[in-house]
Amino acid sequence: MKKKVMKKKGLSPVITTVLLIALTIVIIAIIFLWIRGMVQEGVTKFGKNIQLVCNDVQFEATYESGTLNIVNNGNIPLYSLDVKVVTSDGYQTKNIKDFNAASSWPVSGLKQGAAFSGNIGSEITNPTELEIFPVLIGTSTSGKKTFTCGGQYGQTVIV
């Protein structure tokens, strides 16, 4: 009896090796991008993590007759402000530089002891309260970056 020898066809070892290497590189790239998205880039100010500098920010905010008044009482310059306008329908957050009154906002930020006064009342309708959050500028490996001190570092102004 003759044995039939069947010729099996498959991938050559070279092609298999190339495919395995390519698959490994793709998996490593996916893991790298995933981890990179979870890790926040370090931003510093005065040699400290910028989140820790938020503890030292001190400012007063008042709102009367459509005019927002800010006084920087601390040692940390305020690069900008985020204004959360709360109404009965919800809320909207805008940067102070997005208001028309921002023309009087200092380009380099509100320094220690400086004050800002701007009429934003014509640009917001029926606010019930304003939440003011300081925005700081710090340095990172990719240059200067802004950082908003949110949550407990803001001030609520009842309208």
Sign for the CA dihedral angle at 71, 116, 99, 43 comes to negative
* 24-53 average pLDDT score: 86
Give the mean pLDDT of 27-53. 84
Find residue 144's DSSP bridge partners: 139
Average pLDDT rounded to a whole number, residues 66-74? 92
Residue 122 has pLDDT above 60, yes or no: yes
Give residue 30's identity as a one-letter amino acid code: I
CATH of domain 44-158: 2.60.40
- Rounded Cα gap, residues 52 and 149, in angstroms: 10
pTM of model > 0.85: no
CA distance 88 to 126: 8
Q: Span 35-47, mean pLDDT?
A: 78
Distance CA 158, CA 68 (A): 12
∠ at Cα 112 (106, 118), nearest 5°? 40
Measure CA 28 to chain center. 28
Give pLDDT, residue 133: 95
SS3 content of the chain, % helix, strand, coil (to 5): 30, 35, 35
Residues 5, 105: Cα–Cα separation, whole Å: 87
- Residue 103 is predicted with a pLDDT of 74
The DSSP code for 110 is B
Residue 2: what pLDDT? 58
Question: Please, what is the average pLDDT of the chain?
Answer: 87
Convert the pLDDT of each residue in 144-155 to its tens digit.
999 999 889 999
Give the integer Cα–Cα distance in Å for 112 and 59.
9
| Alpha carbon distances (Å) from 22 to 7, 18, 35 | 28, 6, 20
| CB 159 within 8 Å of CB 130 | yes
**Residue 21 confidence (pLDDT) above 80:** yes
Does residue 113 surpass a pLDDT of 80?
Answer: yes
Residue 3: pLDDT band (50, 70, 90) is: low
Using a pLDDT cut of 90, give the percent of the chain over it.
47
